[in-house]
Amino acid sequence: MWLPCRCALKSAAASFSRSGVFEPPCLNVVRRSSGNVAAFMPEAAGFLGVSGRDALQDFSVSDGDGFWAAVARQRLSWIRPFHRVQDCDLSRGRIKWFEGGQLNVSVNCLDRHVHTCPERVALIWERDEKGSEVRYTYRELLEMTCRVGNLLRRHGVKKGDCVTIYMPTCPLAVASMLACARIGAAHNVVFAGFSADALAERIRDAESSTVITVNQGLRGGKVTELKRTVDAAVQSCPSVRRVFVAMRTDNPVAMTARDIPMDEEMLKEDVVCEPAVMDSEDVLFLLYTSGSTGKPKGLVHTQAGYLLYAALTHRYVFNYHDGDVFGCVADIGWITGHSYAVYGPLANGGTTVLFESTPVYPDPGRYWDMVERLKVNQFYGAPTAIRLLIKYGDQWVKKYDRSTLKTLGSVGEPINTEAWEWYHRVVGEGRCPVVDTWWQTETGGICIAPKPSDPDAEIVPGMAMRPFFGIKPVLMDTEGKVQTSNNISGALCIAQPWPGMARTIHNHHQRFIDTYCQPYPGYFFTGDGAYRSEEGYYQITGRLDDVINVSGHRIGTAEIEDVVNQCPSVAESAVIGYSHNIKGQGVYAFVVLKKGVNVQEADLSKQLSNMVSEKIAKYACPDFIQFVKRLPKTRSGKIMRRVLRKVVECDLDGLGDLSTLDDPAAIQEIIQGHEKLLRK
């Protein structure tokens, strides 16, 4: 694997950022003082009459253009200034920010920091092997990025192409993302836990002709054959012309004519790479996520708006300051890794941790050992890991010095009160604010979180609470009307566009409109339900569609059903989520066999699990498979998932109105079968 080279031959930083065309970055510096708001947020210095965080939030929503223009001018470095802040029409799915503006995202994340502080650490790679972390300075990361950029260019990757990255969380993966941004290609990072079929589907949909991978992955001490998975995937991807293979372990792998040894070839490249001039609305990346159909959606994020939103939320939700070490333990294959392990921290000139391992490897003290060793100031993780660690006891936490911690973050799923309290009391010694951050792949960055808020403002356990700047959440009733009162639940929508939101679904703009813009015309529909408390705080109650959340990973029930239904013995299936005490939600599959099929249920269960793991990923495998004679359906043939959910939750009193059921006897059989399965 590419390691930092400690001797710089020449400066790789693009020199045009010194030309005076754009304002030099001046982060965390108060230029003009205008009351306490400017001390808190320098970008707000010009907002006359705005004092206090609440007033700033109000201003950011009521004068969104004024707010975002000021922030965009000051926080990003532009090659050419934008002439229009936004041109959006949510009802038509038209979202454009900072039109006329030109910039390069990699210059914003690297070159400008190399000019001011080349030797500052950009990345700390917390490798799977504990205690072997590697640091990369901004200069080194820029050089690595430039080499990858030149390599991609030399092999014909052009502006507008899409490069699929199938790699573990490591510096070369970050450099690959930034190299794409440098030369104007979009990246499509696919989580390295996805199977060959899932990877192939994403490569094909993204129309990638280039893939970047490693020989093998290493996670929790276990080797995964990533190159072999890519080999299998590209068999069904005729568009793929080249596969770059970097070496994460020392074990050689079979190379084909299509494969290019990446580390070796990078050595031949120059450390200077001319950045492409990009329009604000050019594509920065695609990221696939599950929806309520069987086909994952390639959400599209663009350059300026995404970067600005990731940077601003990183700075203010976590109260990140220069010199802090930011520890987001998410994999780069998810949006959290994109926004808070890579783009947000790097745009802010921060030091960010890349965590390659698991919370329990080599033992359940791994996170806190890392916090002590790397002197982590902000720790950002998932409730599922917290719940897992609670089971191992406090001693694994207390063994390590956590005095550097200032803020603790949670993301991916609702955090239950017990987990929140433990995180706050044991991990944070009761002195670190816990920020439960709600957001989605679609939103690009955090939309609701307890911070920023006044230092003494309350934080309620298990609640995301307050909208971020520029975010106006609304709750809709069943008729699609905005509910204005408090102490009420509804479908969570966002009433006005914000720079970080996804622009479309790759090649399926109509699906984007249908999913997010049509359900409540004029509003962005999140797919989540939420409750607004008496005090006006938001609490997310969960998905309203057929998407479940397993260990913080989204998966559409339809995707799992599609795989199960491919089994020749299966007539049909229904997959639902149920409450699981560690994973948040588990997967429960009801399966109807074809007539005349005579198989051992245990064997078939194993076969179906293997199929899900091979076609999607391990985390999507059902925890329970119940074979049933028929599924409860309405007379029009719709599976009544509501009823199945109640059976699995053992809430038989809550089965509700069964009068629309085609065959009420089906339910009795299902209840009995469920009880039998639990007794096993």
d(CA 477, CA 529): 10
Q: Give residues 446-465 in contact with ligand 6R9 (rule: CB under 6 A).
A: 464
Select the span of 252-260, 332-340, 355-363, 588-596 touching ligand 6R9 (CB under 6 A): 332-340
Considering only 82, 125, 334, 396, the residue that binds ligand 6R9 (CB under 6 A) is 334
Backbone angles phi, psi at 617, to 5 degrees: -170, 165
Distance CA 548, CA 584 (A): 9
Q: How far is the CB of 409 from ligand 6R9 (least distance, A)?
A: 9
What is the SS3 assignment for 51-107? CCHHHHHHHHHHCHHHHHHHHHHHHCCCCECCCEEECCEHHHCECCEEECCEECHHH
Tell me the C-alpha distance between 473 and 20, whole Å: 39
Determine how many CB atoms are found less than 10 A away from the CB of residue 498. 28
CB of 517 to ligand 6R9, least distance (A): 16
Buried b / exposed e across 181-207, counting CB within 10 Å, b at 16+?
Answer: bbbbbbbbbbbbbbbbbbbbbbbbbbb
Q: SS in 3 state form for 198-251?
A: HHHHHHHHHCCCEEEEECCEEECCEEECHHHHHHHHHCCCCCCCEEEEECCCCC
Residue 479 CA to residue 325 CA, distance in Å, equals: 47
Question: Judging by beta carbons within 10 Å of its beta carbon (0-12, 13-18, 19+), is residue 679 exposed, middle or buried?
Answer: exposed
Cis geometry, peptide bond prior to residue 452 (ω within 30 degrees of 0): yes
Closest CA to 496 of 507, 509, 482, 510: 482
Among 108, 280, 358, 437, binds ligand 6R9 (CB under 6 A): 437
* Residue 576: Cβ-neighbour burial (10 angstroms; 0-12, 13-18, 19+): buried
The residue among 327 and 364 lying less far from ligand 6R9, judged by its C-beta, is 327
Residue 191 φ/ψ region, left for φ over 0, alpha for ψ in the -120 to 50 degree band, beta for the rest: beta
Question: In 3D, which of 664, 550, 656, 566 has the Cα closest to residue 193?
Answer: 550
User: At its nearest, how many Å lie between ligand 6R9 and the CB of residue 316?
Assistant: 17
Query: Which residues, 6 or more positions from 659, have their beta carbon under 8 angstroms from its beta carbon?
Result: none
Distance CA 125, CA 329 (A): 11
Q: State the nearest-atom distance from the C-beta of 420 to ligand 6R9, in Å.
A: 11
**Nearer residue to ligand 6R9 within complex by CB, 152 or 464:** 464
Nearest to 358 by CA among 335, 391, 332, 331: 331
53 binds ligand 6R9 (CB under 6 A): no
Q: Which is nearer to ligand 6R9, 244 or 318 (CB)?
A: 318
Q: How far is the CB of 558 from ligand 6R9 (least distance, A)?
A: 16
Whole-number Å distance between alpha carbons of 449 and 35 = 24
Residue 668 CB partners (closer than 8 Å, separation 6+): none
Shortest Cβ distance from residue 356 to ligand 6R9 (Å)? 20
- Minimum CB–partner distance for residue 441 and ligand 6R9 (Å): 3
Residue 28 has φ and ψ, to the nearest 5°, of 60, 25
- Which is nearer to ligand 6R9, 113 or 554 (by Cβ)? 554
Q: Find the shortest distance in angstroms from Cβ 335 to ligand 6R9.
A: 5
Of 46 and 529, nearer to ligand 6R9 (C-beta) is: 529
Using CA atoms, how far apart are residues 290 and 251, in angstroms rounded to an integer?
34
If the CB atoms of residues 237 and 353 are measured against ligand 6R9, the closer one turns out to be 353
**By the rule CB under 6 A, 583 interacts with ligand 6R9:** no
Looking at the Cβ atoms of 98 and 288, the one nearer to ligand 6R9 is: 288
Cβ distance to ligand 6R9 smaller for residue 101 or 584: 584
Question: According to CB under 6 A, which residues from 146 to 185 bind ligand 6R9?
Answer: none
Structure token digits, residue 326: 């930011």
Q: Is the CB of 554 or the CB of 646 nearer to ligand 6R9?
A: 554
Give backbone dihedrals phi and psi of 79, rounded to 5 degrees, phi first.
Answer: -80, -40
Give me the least distance between CB of 92 and ligand 6R9, in Å please.
23
Cα 391 to chain center, whole Å? 26
Sequence-ordered list of residues with C-beta below 8 angstroms from that of 472, at least 6 positions apart, any chain: 61, 494, 495, 496
Tell me whether residue 153 or residue 583 sits nearer to ligand 6R9 (CB atom): 583
Beta partners for residue 78, in sequence order: none
Query: Considering beta carbons, is residue 51 or 541 the nearer one to ligand 6R9?
Result: 541
Binding ligand 6R9 (rule: CB under 6 A), the pick from 439, 468, 498, 523 is 439
The whole-angstrom separation of Cα 66 and Cα 419 is: 39
Rounded to the nearest whole angstrom, what is the least distance from the CB of residue 637 to ligand 6R9 in the complex?
A: 28
- Under the binding rule (CB under 6 A), the answer on residue 17 touching ligand 6R9 is no
Question: What string marks each residue from 536 to 555 as x (binds ligand 6R9 by CB under 6 A) or -?
Answer: ----x--x-----x----x-
CB atoms within 10 A of CB 472: 17
Shorter beta-carbon distance to ligand 6R9: residue 142 or 311: 311
Region 261-290 residues binding ligand 6R9, contact defined as CB under 6 A: 289
CB of residue 345 to ligand 6R9, shortest distance in Å: 16
If we measure between CA atoms, which residue out of 253, 7, 252, 1 comes closest to residue 148? 1
Residues 285-314 that bind ligand 6R9 (CB under 6 A): 289
In sequence order, what are the beta bridge partners of 261? 245
Q: Which is nearer to ligand 6R9, 14 or 464 (CB)?
A: 464
**Six token digits for residue 471:** 């975010």
Applying CB under 6 A, among 197, 528, 561, 562 the residue interacting with ligand 6R9 is 528
Question: Binding of ligand 6R9 at residue 336 (CB under 6 A)?
Answer: yes
- x/- map, 93-132, ligand 6R9, by CB under 6 A: ----------------------------------------
Which of 253, 286 has the CB closer to ligand 6R9? 286
State the Cα–Cα distance between residues 39 and 550, nearest whole angstrom.
41
Stretch that binds ligand 6R9, among 240-248, 434-442, 498-506, 645-653 (CB under 6 A): 434-442
The binding track of 380-419 with respect to ligand 6R9, each residue x by CB under 6 A or -, is -------------------------------xxxx-----
Give least dist CB 185 to ligand 6R9, A.
23
Helix axes 641-648, 665-679, angle to 10 degrees: 30
> Min. distance of Cβ 423 from ligand 6R9 in angstroms?
13
- Select 328 or 411, whichever has its Cβ closest to ligand 6R9: 411
Cβ 392 to ligand 6R9 shortest distance, Å: 23
Least separation, in Å, of the C-beta of 328 and ligand 6R9? 11
The distance of closest approach from Cβ of residue 461 to ligand 6R9 in the complex, given in angstroms and rounded to an integer, is: 12
How many residues in the shown chain lie near ligand 6R9 by CB under 6 A? 22
The residue nearest ligand 6R9 at its CB is 441
Each residue 487-526 as x (binds ligand 6R9 by CB under 6 A) or -, in order, gives: ---------------------------------------x
Q: Which residues bind ligand 6R9 (CB under 6 A)?
A: 289, 334-336, 411-414, 436-441, 464, 526-528, 540, 543, 549, 554
